[in-house]
Structure 1
Amino acid sequence: MPLVPPGCSNDYEWLSFAIDLAKRCPPSDTAFSVGCVIVDAHGSEISQGYSREQPHYHAEESALSKLTPDDERLPEATLYSSLEPCTRRKSRPRTCSELIIASGIRRVVIAWREPPIFVSDAHGVTALEAAGITVVEIPELADAATAMNAHILNTDTNGGSSAPAT
């Protein structure tokens, strides 16, 4: 498990750490590289994960799988994910949004929302908020979170992104 950077104490720093975890993802042309870290109410890391850490696992799923479902720290924890948690899966029985809701986590921080590349109707933020979970988006970190996904995103000369060319 990588060491948490010294002084990592706020949303921006923890989300930056989650983005760094995404750099560990095995490359894929059919899935985003995402990192996730779960931090308890006292600011201590309790779990982390990244996409494809285990076959077919998403980052949030990987981090949550390392904790017991009844972990008493989860209701006051914050989950940091470099990408909006999914609401549609083909390879696994439950979406990341469903797993987060079931975990009891009440706060999620993301860098960017899922673009309509693999799923046209991604709505993780909406699903989490409908379940009473506070979602914070830090768009200033979106470029850093999308960097390791540049091969999937068709980045234009102005730094924006769109669906891959066909």
Structure 2
Amino acid sequence: MTNTPENMCGRPGPGVEPTTADRAWLAVACQLATECPPSRTEFSAGVVVLADDGTELARAYSRQHEPHQHAAEGALAQIAPGDPRLPTATVYSSAGPCAERGPGLRPCAELIREAGIRRVITACRELHTDGASGTDGASGTDGTERLEAVGVTVIELSEYADAAKAPNQHLL
């Protein structure tokens, strides 16, 4: 096996304290965001899902397969529902999971919750076109708050926020 950043990252951390491996995998997710097809109206994000033993379960970036597909949506679609590794898996997402989407589209926070994933590492909270990150104007909450409300550990590593926002500057 070739030593690439991805296979040298290691296992995700087990709890609320981020590890060196958590930081390395979040950097991979931020890099994935730069691969997104351009959009004048939608954010670019990257996601990696890792089992607790360090096995990569999936990775995706926004609009990878569908014009309005979010990164977490694309990654989770690659994993069989009920996979026994999901409850101990970690999602690494360059941007915080969304709390709201258009009609007929499911928010990423809901998809993560339904998958049974209990740990999320992100570079920043949900992005908005006003340049802010955080609370969604319509619901008053963001994806991070929704996940935390159901017991999911969400860790924000703000030192990666600039990398997460870089492919989205035209929207911020």
Smaller-chain TM-score bracket: 0.7 to 0.9
Does 2:169 align with 1:150?
Answer: yes
Q: CA-atom RMSD, angstroms?
A: 1.6
Kindly state the Cα deviation for residue 70 of structure 1 after the two structures are TM-superposed: 1.1
Assess, with a 3 A threshold, how the Cα gap between structure 1 residues 136 and 117 changes in structure 2: closer, same or farther: same
Equivalent position amino acid for 2:160 in 1: L
- Aligned equivalents of 1:44 and 1:105: distance in 2? 15
Assess, with a 3 A threshold, how the Cα gap between structure 1 residues 100 and 41 changes in structure 2: closer, same or farther: same
Q: TM-score, normalised by structure 2?
A: 0.82
Unpaired segments ≥5 residues, structure 2 = 11-20, 131-135
Greater shift in the superposed pair: 40-49 or 57-66 = 40-49
Q: Deviations over 1:7-49 (max 9, x none)?
A: 2121100000001111110011111100000000111211011
Matches within 5 A, 1:1-166: 5-9=6-10, 10-55=21-66, 56-90=68-102, 92-117=104-129, 119-120=136-137, 121=140, 123-153=142-172
How many aligned residue pairs are there?
151
SS at match of 1:5: helix
Q: Deviations over 1:95-144 (max 9, x none)?
A: 10010000000000000112432753451110000111000000000001
- Aligned equivalents of 1:74 and 1:64: distance in 2? 10
SS at match of 1:129: helix
- Runs ≥4 residues deviating over 6 A: none
Kindly state the Cα deviation for residue 4 of structure 1 after the two structures are TM-superposed: 5.4
Higher strand share goes to which structure? Answer: 1
SS at match of 2:8: coil
Kindly state the Cα deviation for residue 92 of structure 1 after the two structures are TM-superposed: 4.0
Contact persistence 1:86–1:123 (CA under 8 A): yes
Unpaired segments ≥5 residues, structure 1 = 154-166
Once the two structures are aligned, what percentage of the paired residues are identical?
46
Q: TM-score, normalised by structure 1?
A: 0.85
